[in-house]
Amino acid sequence: MSPIDLDVPADLLLPESGSGPGIVLFQEIFGVTDYIRSRAQDLADLGYVVLVPHLYARLGDPVVEEGGEGLPRAMALLEELDWQQAVEDGVAAVAALRDHPAVEGGVGVLGFCLGGGMAFNVAAVARPAPDALVSYYGSALPNLLGLAPDVTSPSLHHFGDSDTYLPLATVRDIERAVTEGHDDVTFVVHPGGDHAFDNPSPMFHHAEASAAAWEQTATWLASHLPVEASATTR
């Protein structure tokens, strides 16, 4: 299988069929953790070719504890991250995945927390634009709403109504910005979900919100970035 030519390391996961549409998956603030790797595998199990660029590679590629004592270190890493460089790395990842011989069909972007904002920013500037955008509680979105008119990809956004990092009033501001003037935006606010509700760490996890959001994500991707039936059975 052809390697991915990027300036940062990236994990490539293939579906059982060996080919399919592509998804670039962007990490949380904790790095490319076992959780992110597991979600990448979940997407591969749905039939996607998944690429996970390591956004912290230029910082030594650290992986820190999810929650607890790791949270201050993760917040510090976020401050150290060169956001624009990371966006450029993300755009390059989308382009590289489009060119990969295993990719048949479109290429989407999906991210959690830090990665949710990164996916949104990449969707705003990558050309051609990603064919689909899924953003889970994009923590940088309040500072990126000026880019909303440039995001032409169909998009799905997940937030919790009990997010202590992004209050519900802020979530509603995000909803107005990302839906105005766009025809294909799905915006879901999950009851009881705090920030990072999909992360299995006990500090964050909300089982009902996580399960509902993932089911919605899989269904939405099947509609907007479909895996051909023939590819899943080869």
pLDDT digits (tens, 9 = 90+) for 176-225: 999 999 999 999 999 999 999 999 998 899 999 999 999 999 999 999 99
Of the residues 163, 194, 205, 206, which is catalytic?
Answer: 163
- Average of per-residue pLDDT across 36-53: 98
Res 229: pLDDT: 52
165, HSE (Cβ side, Cα atoms, 13 Å): 17
Q: Cα 94–143–28 angle (5° rounding)?
A: 50
Task: Provide the whole-model pTM.
Answer: 0.96
Residues of the chain with pLDDT > 90, as a percent, come to 93
Task: Read off the pLDDT band of 102 (50, 70, 90).
Answer: very high
Of the residues 161, 173, 182, 195, which is catalytic?
Answer: 195
45 is catalytic: no
Q: Residue 53: beta bridge partners?
A: 10
What is the rounded CA–CA span in Å between residue 139 and residue 93?
A: 21
Cβ–Cβ under 8 Å, residues 110 and 43: yes
**Element at 158 (helix H, strand E):** strand 155-160
In whole angstroms, what separates CA 176 from the centre of its chain? 20
Query: pLDDT at residue 151 above 90?
Result: yes
Query: pLDDT at residue 86 above 90?
Result: yes
Q: Residue 185: beta bridge partners?
A: 155
Q: Is 110 helix (H, G, I), strand (E, B) or coil?
A: strand
Of the residues 100, 113, 157, 190, which is catalytic?
Answer: 113
Res 68: pLDDT: 83
Alpha helices in 147-195 (DSSP H): 168-179
Instruction: Give residue 221's region: left, alpha or beta (phi > 0; psi -120 to 50).
Output: alpha
pLDDT digits (tens, 9 = 90+) for 64-75: 999 888 999 999
> Average pLDDT over the chain, rounded to whole?
95
195 is catalytic: yes
**Element at 106 (helix H, strand E):** strand 103-112
Q: Give me the phi and psi of 107, to 5 degrees please.
A: -130, 130
113 is catalytic: yes
Q: Cα 189–201–158 angle (5° rounding)?
A: 15
Residue (of 232, 199, 192, 227) closest to 39 by Cα position: 199
**Element at 51 (helix H, strand E):** strand 49-53
